[in-house]
Structure 1
Amino acid sequence: MVELTPPPRQVAEEVWPRIPNVYGVDLRAALPDDAEFLSDMLVEAINWPPDRAWSKRQILDDARNAHYVGGWKRTTDFGVVAIGGPAPGWPAACGEPGSPIGAAWLRYLPADDPGYGFVDADTPELTMALYQPWRGQGIGRAVLRRLLGDAAERGISRISLSVEPGNRAQQLYESEGFVVVGTDVGGSFTMLREGA
């Protein structure tokens, strides 16, 4: 398991410690300029099953999805972006070496425009994705742990999310302290993590 110590807080553009894996992945804070990439990650998150291939337009034209990234970066938005280093067999679908390969971010949504994992307006909702070739290598866990650490530093004690049955990410979330607190009409689980 990847264990990272919290970085000293200096500037948002700071690159945090390198994740020890064969790909040389770095983590950094999500920036206002990451809006388009976060939209791409939202598409990855929604299209997680191999038989689903909704277009970016289909996903972002649906207000139930668009509010996860629309107007990024609000003052209460924050996240973590994973940057992939050069690697043998770098997947062309993931851009050039040194490009973003995954992200996790938190956004507060209001009761009159709730997200799929909405618990209450005081609990931010987690969205997270990696490009498929980078999954299953501990990168997602490192990104999530960095985000959870940042949330704790900001005094955020509750985080929610939504995950569909069968998504392997549910195991990651459970191992990081999220528990199922409900099921929506479509069968997705609402999960909540309380405490630091």
Structure 2
Amino acid sequence: MSADEPAETSQIVVRRGGAQDVRFLRDMLHHAYYWKERAPDAGPGPVALYVKAWGRVGDTAVIALDRGFPVGAAWYRLFDRERPGFGFVDERTPELAIAVVPNARGRGIGSALLNALLERARAEGYPTLSLSVDRANAGAIELYERYGFQRVSEDDDSVTMLAQLTPLVQQPTI
């Protein structure tokens, strides 16, 4: 196996997420945005916006399971200008969040989640997806760049990236 190949993922299944997964998505926020979280005694911070009132129009999630246990999630939702996410671009561009539990990293799960979520976004007709990533997380930035995300803005601790999505081509039915 080369260094570019993911480790064994034969036990990994990616399924569509739903309301039953909100607790897991909330747990995954810690892994996705640990670098943006407030101090524990400061109350809920902006990361809560990524799952609060889940099930709005535009909310979409995929969950990775390893032998039936959730090990990662990727999701997106639309934000408005008054209450933006960290990677907000505009009100028509969903913002992606993704995380894999630490003991399951390095096995290609993040790539599987990203593939599935990008496929969903294309199927739902979104022309772009955005995200925010810790500017020191070179591995994640490299992964996102491989999937077509480009840097659109940076601040002291994060990079906002945007992917242009090509629409799925529907085959004519005969």
TM-score normalised per structure 2: 0.84
The answer to whether 1:135 aligns with 2:84 is no
Contact residue 83 and residue 99 of structure 1 kept, 8 A: yes
* CA deviation map 1:79-108 (0-9, x unaligned): 1100111xxxxxxxxxxxx22110000100
Contact residue 95 and residue 131 of structure 2 kept, 8 A: yes
Quickly say closer, same or farther: Cα 1:112–1:26, change in 2 above 3 A. Answer: same
Within-5 A mapping of 1:109-148: 109-148=79-118
Name the CA distance, whole Å, in 2 between partners of 1:152 and 1:22. 24
The answer to whether 1:46 aligns with 2:29 is no
Contact residue 63 and residue 70 of structure 2 kept, 8 A: yes
Within-5 A mapping of 1:98-113: 98-113=68-83
Contact residue 60 and residue 66 of structure 1 kept, 8 A: no
The match for 2:121 is: 151
TM-score normalised per structure 1: 0.75
The match for 2:65 is: 83
Name the CA distance, whole Å, in 2 between partners of 1:112 and 1:54. 20
Quickly say closer, same or farther: Cα 1:58–1:181, change in 2 above 3 A. Answer: farther
Within-5 A mapping of 1:1-196: 21=8, 24-47=11-34, 61-62=44-45, 64-85=46-67, 98-167=68-137, 168-184=139-155, 186-196=156-166
Name the CA distance, whole Å, in 1 between partners of 2:119 and 2:43. 29
Name the aligned partner's letter for residue 125 of structure 1.
E
Name the CA distance, whole Å, in 1 between partners of 2:135 and 2:110. 18
Partner SS, residue 76 of structure 2: strand
Question: What's the CA shift for 1:69?
Answer: 0.6
Name the CA distance, whole Å, in 1 between partners of 2:43 and 2:128. 27
Normalized per residue, the structure richer in strand is 2
Name the CA distance, whole Å, in 2 between partners of 1:114 and 1:53. 15
Question: What's the CA shift for 1:20?
Answer: 8.7
The match for 2:169 is: none
Contact residue 27 and residue 83 of structure 1 kept, 8 A: yes
Name the CA distance, whole Å, in 2 between partners of 1:70 and 1:143. 21
Q: Give me the identity figure in percent.
A: 39
Quickly say closer, same or farther: Cα 1:58–1:72, change in 2 above 3 A. Answer: farther
Quickly say closer, same or farther: Cα 1:82–1:182, change in 2 above 3 A. Answer: same
Question: What's the CA shift for 1:130?
Answer: 0.3
Runs of 5+ in structure 1 lacking a partner?
A: 3-18, 86-97
Task: After the TM superposition, list the runs of 4 or more consecutive aligned residues in structure 1 that deviate by more than 4 angstroms.
Answer: 52-55, 57-60
Quickly say closer, same or farther: Cα 1:28–1:112, change in 2 above 3 A. Answer: same
Name the CA distance, whole Å, in 1 between partners of 2:85 and 2:33. 13
Partner SS, residue 180 of structure 1: strand
